[in-house]
Amino acid sequence: MTERGLARYVLSCGALTVPILVWNVVCTPFLPPALASNEFSRDIPQLVTYGENTLRIVVMVLPFFMPLQVATSGQRRGLLLFAAGTVFYVLAWVPLMIAPQSGWSTSWLGFVAPAYTPIVWLTGLGLVGRRLYVPSPYRRWMYVALACGFVAFHVTHTSTVYARNYPHQAATGGEGR
C-alpha cells in the first residue's frame, strides 16, 4: 500500500520518534537542574551548540521522509534495535529523575547516559528507513553517520555540563560520590 500526500509523512519512520519526543517534553522537568534548565545551555562552545542543534533537526526530521516499511530482515532487525534502544534511552533517564544524587547519577556514565543511548535507537531507525519518499542517492549509512555526528556533539555538550557540575568526579575519571 502506497500512501500519497501528507498521509505518507504521518505514516513514516518519523512516527516512531513521536513517543520519544513526548517522553522528552514530559520528563525533562524532572531531571536534575543541570540537565533540565538554562544551566544545560550555559557556556557551551558555539561549534558544539550549532553542530548539535543542526544535526538534531536533521536526524529528527529526516525520518518523516522515510517510508515506514518492515519488509526485509534488515528492517526487522532495525525495528528491534529501535525498540531496544528506546527502552535503554528511557531507562537512562530514570535514575537521574528518581535518584539524582546516587553514585550512578553523579558518575559520568550515568549523567551522560541520555546523551549516548540515542545512538542505539537512531541506528535502528536508520536500518528501518531504507529510502526516502523523494528521489535521492540516499543510503541508510548516511542517516547513521548523521546520527553518530549528533550523538558525538550531544555527548560533548553533556560532558561539558557534567565537568562543570561535578568537577571532582570529572577530574578523577567520573566516579560517583
The answer to whether residue 1 sits within a structural domain is no
Q: Tell me which residue has cell 498521509.
A: 7
Provide the CA 2 distance to its chain's centre, in angstroms. 29
30-82 residue pLDDT tens: 999 999 878 899 999 999 999 999 999 999 999 999 999 999 999 999 999 99
Could you list the residue range(s) of the whole structural domain that residue 52 is in?
A: 7-171
- Which 8-state DSSP code applies to residue 40? G
Number of domains the chain is built from: 1
Amino acid at 119: I
Quick one: average pLDDT of 111-121?
98
- Helix (H, G, I), strand (E, B), or coil: what is residue 100? coil
In angstroms, the CA 54 to CA 120 distance is 20
Answer whether 155's CB lies under 8 Å from 116's CB. Answer: yes
Rounded-to-integer distance, Cα 161 and Cα 35, Å = 8
Percent of the chain whose pLDDT exceeds 90: 84
Place of cell 551548540: 49
Would residue 161 count as lying in a domain?
yes
Main-chain phi, psi angles of 6, to 5 degrees: -65, -25
Asked if residue 169 has pLDDT above 90, the reply is no
Quote the CA–CA distance of 73 and 171 in Å, as a whole number. 45
Query: Is 176 among the domain residues?
Result: no
